[in-house]
Structure 1
Amino acid sequence: MDGIDDEGMGTLKIGDFSRLGQVSVRMLRHYESLGLLTPEAVDEFTGHRHYGAGQLTRLNRIMALNALGIPLRSITGLLDSELSSEALVEMLHRRRHQLLAEQSAAVAALAEVDFRLALIERTTMDHPDSIIKDLPPERILGRTVLLGEPPFDTSEIGPLFDSAADAITEAGGAPTMAIGIYSETESGTEVTCGFRTSTPTADTGPELEITELPSCTAATLVHKGPMARIGASWQHLAEWALAQGWELVGPCREVYLETGPDWVVELQQPVTR
């Protein structure tokens, strides 16, 4: 059959074996050269290689061990040993946890670099005009979390907004504009994640906190872009307000007009003369 002798019957062409194993033909030839995975049959006339379906198990083990960081030339001994599937699975789980930890660390490091880069570059950024305006009193329903001392771990903020919105809905209200209120306490910064809402105060229940924001004069600007750069906008607003002779007072606020990836957030810093 196409020059294949009886040994080639019931086998897979190298292209099909490559597709099923999710490995390149070039890599299969490399495995063969190292003695890791030898084809079951080779056409004596064309040189076409054929693999048995059962060899997929050995291929999976080769790739799993290589994913653990074991050099290919060192894998043969492990393949021929009594290494059980359970032991290999446990090794892969440990490697997975290690890679996830490294990924989280890399993401945190990248966020820190982006944040510091935004602060350094802010003198050249195109900031919108800062303005002074009077803010009306308003009532916010939400939940509060202590962030502590900077640098802040903000991982709880998103879920807290979600849980506050769910609690407002369960109370029969309709969460509208999301607002973050940042306050300084003896234990550090805390943030209230809340919403303007039509929920009657009597129906909030113990799941929600009520924050009364009095009317005030505030320095404001609208931040547009990723949240990683919002710190630069806050610094710009504070410097501008102080240069105008204002004193920063009271908890500051973020009003989330549009969410990411290109956020639109109004920054509100209460001020006084």
Structure 2
Amino acid sequence: MTSDKIPIGRFSLMTHLTSKALRLYDSKGLLVPEAKDQFTGYRYYTFPQIEKGIKIKTLCWLGFGLDEIATLLDAEEEGKKDIISEMMRNRSIEVRSDILRLEKIEQVLLKPDSAMELLRMSVTEPQIKDIPELRVLSKRETGSYGETIGKHAAELFGFVSSPVFQRSNAKITGPLMFICHDEEYKENEADIETVLPFTGRVNIDDPAIKERILPAVQVVSTIYKGPYDGVEVGYSRLFEYMAEQDLEIAGESRSLYINDPEEVLEEELLTEVQIPVKKIK
């Protein structure tokens, strides 16, 4: 074996990357062993790959995913500094958001009474009501809940404040609403649709915004008070109620954001949770 053929175990020691991680990077095409023994066919790493391995380790530490790391390494190789700068800037925004979230968690944990109060977040008594057909402006894509719904909200409200909408005879008739299209909870890659009910006619000049009709439905509904992260309390109460009343799901659930998170404290946020239902036969 020549000195430029480094087996995976030694390369792991040199870079402080685990063998499991190295095998993953190999399978992803991110860091593929370059040297090959002509007699055994075994593949080995080379000394120039040590720097790349350390770069990958550092980028992982900064919180980038493997696909993002591949893009960054390609951009560096091709001298595309604008791509690197944009990705670093976006990651810094995500980090700042994480810091703010963790600071809020720390503040709650330092006040035991407040922490326990979160376990008793309030929901109103469930009720059954009929929701009429609704015309809505809609944006739909896959992603994570907080980030995607927040982005949709900004884009939808941006559109309704635009001259195109303002010149029309259209009016917003209800709060921003999230429609869940998944049958199970997904941390990422969730199928997210955010809508704004409206009446009137308007020419939509943004291809990402659609107009569609939500069907009339009978729902079981509750209003949850508290941070958006705890809205599952409302869903849990509704499912308990449905079991008590012999009801089953008859459509996609809806979450209506009744007040503005920029105007009230997190603990004062109101979210109406609606689940379309029908009697169990």
TM-score norm. by structure 1 comes to 0.51
Query: Which one of the candidate residues 117, 130, 134 is aligned to 1:134?
Result: 130
Residues 225 and 123 from structure 1, CA distance in 2 versus in 1: closer, same or farther, beyond 3 angstroms? Answer: closer
- 2:245 — aligned with what? 244
- 2:19 — aligned with what? none
- 2:150 — aligned with what? 158
SS of equivalent to 1:181: strand
Q: Which amino acid aligns with 2:134?
A: E
Q: Verify the 8 A CA contact 2:131 2:219 in the aligned structure 1.
A: yes
SS of equivalent to 2:239: helix
SS of equivalent to 2:153: helix
CA RMSD for the aligned pairs? Answer: 3.7
Alpha-carbon distance in 1 for matches of 2:243, 2:105: 27
Counterparts in 2 of 1:209-228, with a 5 A limit?
A: 209-228=210-229
Q: Which amino acid aligns with 1:180?
A: F
Alpha-carbon distance in 1 for matches of 2:101, 2:257: 23
Q: Which amino acid aligns with 1:200?
A: R
Counterparts in 2 of 1:180-219, with a 5 A limit?
A: 180-184=178-182, 189-200=190-201, 203-205=203-205, 206-219=207-220
Q: Verify the 8 A CA contact 2:136 2:212 in the aligned structure 1.
A: yes
SS of equivalent to 1:167: helix
Cα deviations across residues 89-118 of structure 1 (Å, max 9, x unaligned)? xxxxxxxx999876655556678998xxx9
Alpha-carbon distance in 2 for matches of 1:165, 1:193: 11
Larger Rg: 1
Q: Please, which runs of 5 or more residues in structure 1 have no aligned partner?
A: 1-96
Shift of residue 217 of structure 1?
Answer: 1.2
Residues 99 and 126 from structure 1, CA distance in 2 versus in 1: closer, same or farther, beyond 3 angstroms? Answer: closer
Percentage identity across aligned positions? 18
Q: Verify the 8 A CA contact 1:223 1:265 in the aligned structure 2.
A: yes
Residues 153 and 257 from structure 1, CA distance in 2 versus in 1: closer, same or farther, beyond 3 angstroms? Answer: closer
1:269 aligns with 2:275: yes
Q: Verify the 8 A CA contact 2:122 2:224 in the aligned structure 1.
A: no
Alpha-carbon distance in 1 for matches of 2:93, 2:222: 38
Shift of residue 209 of structure 1?
Answer: 1.1
Alpha-carbon distance in 1 for matches of 2:198, 2:91: 44
Q: Verify the 8 A CA contact 2:248 2:278 in the aligned structure 1.
A: yes
Shift of residue 144 of structure 1?
Answer: 1.2
Q: Verify the 8 A CA contact 2:135 2:214 in the aligned structure 1.
A: yes
Cα deviations across residues 164-203 of structure 1 (Å, max 9, x unaligned)? 12223433344342222121279963222221123416x2
Alpha-carbon distance in 2 for matches of 1:215, 1:174: 20
- 1:37 — aligned with what? none
Alpha-carbon distance in 2 for matches of 1:191, 1:102: 23
- 1:28 — aligned with what? none
SS of equivalent to 1:165: helix
Paired residues, what number? 170
Shift of residue 130 of structure 1?
Answer: 0.3
Shift of residue 246 of structure 1?
Answer: 0.7
Shift of residue 247 of structure 1?
Answer: 0.6
Cα deviations across residues 200-229 of structure 1 (Å, max 9, x unaligned)? 16x224342123211111110111222222
Alpha-carbon distance in 2 for matches of 1:145, 1:121: 34
Alpha-carbon distance in 2 for matches of 1:101, 1:258: 24
Shift of residue 241 of structure 1?
Answer: 1.5
Which deviates more from structure 2 when the two are superposed, residues 252-261 or residues 129-138? 252-261
Alpha-carbon distance in 1 for matches of 2:104, 2:145: 12
Q: Which amino acid aligns with 2:182?
A: E
Residues 180 and 126 from structure 1, CA distance in 2 versus in 1: closer, same or farther, beyond 3 angstroms? Answer: closer
SS of equivalent to 1:184: coil
